[in-house]
């Protein structure tokens, strides 16, 4: 079955929302396969965000992802990649649709990076790569 990597980013963990966020993914019907509280490293982030290296928000994004612990999870189910991204909502939390994780729990905090609570893989290839980075 299809699998995706979900990260609860440092803002979600520090605000005490990890349990709520994971519960929403489980409530939608996806199966939790693996779960870990981890600290990112520059090396992991460079591999994870390879397509963003060199963009203006890359360094603030890395600093943000290094700012505290992250919850890494693998979920499984039919079309889980698409399903989780739909549940997460649009990248920008201020305007992400209400009912989504980012829309319900996130907002702009005036910082250089979007603190948008969660990451979800965007393709089968990314999911395989990212699961290998965070669960090795
Ligand atoms: P992820 O699930 O985290 O990959 O989010 P996404 O797929 O919705 O966004 P994307 O992969 O394009 O960007 C990765 C992360 O970089 C985002 O989640 C934001 O935290 C940040 N980011 C992306 N685009 C911008 C931008 O234009 N400005 C700023 N400040 N941050 C951005
Ligand atoms: Mg992305």
- Check: pTM over 0.90? Answer yes or no: yes
Ligand 2 centroid to Cα of residue 52, in Å, is: 9
Side by side, the strands of the sheet bearing 3-8 are 31-38, 70-76, 3-8, 118-120
Per-residue pLDDT reduced to its tens digit, 61-97: 999 999 999 999 999 999 999 999 999 999 999 999 9
Residue identifier of the C-alpha nearest atom 8 of ligand 1: 91
Per-residue pLDDT reduced to its tens digit, 1-20: 999 999 999 999 999 999 99
Per-residue pLDDT reduced to its tens digit, 87-126: 999 999 999 999 999 999 999 999 989 999 999 999 999 9
Pocket test for ligand 1, best of 92, 110, 114 (most atoms within 8 A of CB): 114
Ligand 1 centroid to Cα of residue 26, in Å, is: 24
CATH for the stretch 3-134: 3.30.70.141
Which residues carry a binding-site annotation for ATP?
A: 9, 57, 85, 91, 102, 116
Residue 89 gets the label, from left (phi > 0), alpha (psi -120 to 50) or beta, of: left
Nearest in space to 12 (alpha carbons), one of 72, 77, 63, 94: 72
Q: Is 91 in the pocket of ligand 1 (CB under 6 A)?
A: yes
Q: What is the ipTM of this complex?
A: 0.89
Residue ranges of domains in the chain: 3-134
């Amino acid at each position: 079955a299809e699998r995706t990597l979900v990260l609860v980013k440092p803002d979600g963990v520090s605000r005490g929302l990890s349990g709520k966020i994971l519960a929403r993914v489980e409530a939608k019907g996806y199966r939790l396969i693996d779960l870990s509280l981890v600290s990112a490293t520059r090396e992991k982030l460079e591999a994870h965000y390879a397509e963003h290296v060199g963009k203006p928000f890359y360094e603030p994004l890395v600093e943000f992802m290094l700012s505290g612990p992250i919850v890494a999870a693998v979920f499984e189910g039919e079309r889980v990649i698409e399903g989780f991204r739909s549940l997460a909502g649009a990248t920008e939390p201020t305007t992400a649709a209400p009912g989504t994780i980012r829309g319900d729990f996130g907002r702009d905090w005036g910082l250089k990076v979007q603190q948008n609570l969660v990451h979800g893989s965007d393709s089968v290839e990314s999911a395989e790569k990212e699961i290998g980075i965070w669960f090795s």
